[in-house]
Structure 1
């Protein structure tokens, strides 16, 4: 039995979980799976994947270096999925509400967000924060 878990806290080790999605974005068949892969990309400071998995209409290309710098400056602790709506392989949109815990300057902090995901070119992408 494999006791390793991916950075996202799901299923298997990184290579068999988010690593596969990082190698091929189309593998994420649900919005939650894409959300988890994006969390792992923050843990790894994988700016290319964060940009690639961001919907083209809201992609912050000029912020890539700042995102990488910040992701490397904190210590990621865990991802907690709180709720989700739609986002199945048959949907075109969905939301995932989560808490992402990290240490910054010695203090435990949390990002609490309800993220919106939308398919683009047949695969899931991060659209932005729900309003």
Structure 2
């Protein structure tokens, strides 16, 4: 059993993996954000593209997403604040030089036809 990358204290198999594999749809913006973090940690670029809102997909290439995911060692996710359509979080990671970074973001999400999508983020 692998502990989930999103820091939920659940197993990956019971937490984010069913969303990433397309077995289930994320029920909330927070669940989608957590699964997207886990997708970065497990290099699942297809899922990251698919869960980006169609209005924003042209801004993110699968190749760039995969490069960002694989260039960093994802260490920890900290969810700071959640509303029905926004999630503030800090993602901790090491770059190729093993330098510690914190990605602090206010993410916005939208639900269409019962499916949640990442729209955009404001970085701090």
Partner of 1:24: 22
Contact 2:52 2:118 (8 Å CA) reproduced? yes
Deviation at 1:61, TM superposition (A): 6.5
Deviation at 1:85, TM superposition (A): 1.3
Alignment RMSD (CA, Å): 1.9
Normalised by the length of structure 1, the TM-score is 0.85
How many residue pairs get matched?
122
Give runs of aligned pairs for residues 49-60 of structure 1, distance below 5 A.
49-60=47-58
Does residue 100 (structure 1) correspond to residue 91 (structure 2)? The answer is: yes
SS in 2 for 1:100: strand
Normalised by the length of structure 2, the TM-score is 0.89
CA, structure 1 residues 95+25, in 2 after alignment: closer, same or farther (shift >3 Å)? Answer: farther
Of the three residues 7, 10, 26, the one matched with 2:8 is 10
Of the three residues 112, 116, 123, the one matched with 1:124 is 116
Contact 2:18 2:24 (8 Å CA) reproduced? no
SS in 2 for 1:27: coil
C-alpha distance in 2 between matches for 1:78 and 1:32: 15
Question: How far does the alpha carbon of each residue in 1:63-100 deviate from its partner, in whole angstroms, 9 at most, with x for none?
Answer: 210210121111110000000112xxxxxxx0000000
Give runs of aligned pairs for residues 26-41 of structure 1, distance below 5 A.
26-41=24-39
Does residue 77 (structure 1) correspond to residue 75 (structure 2)? The answer is: yes
Does residue 114 (structure 1) correspond to residue 99 (structure 2)? The answer is: no
C-alpha distance in 2 between matches for 1:12 and 1:81: 15
C-alpha distance in 2 between matches for 1:26 and 1:119: 15
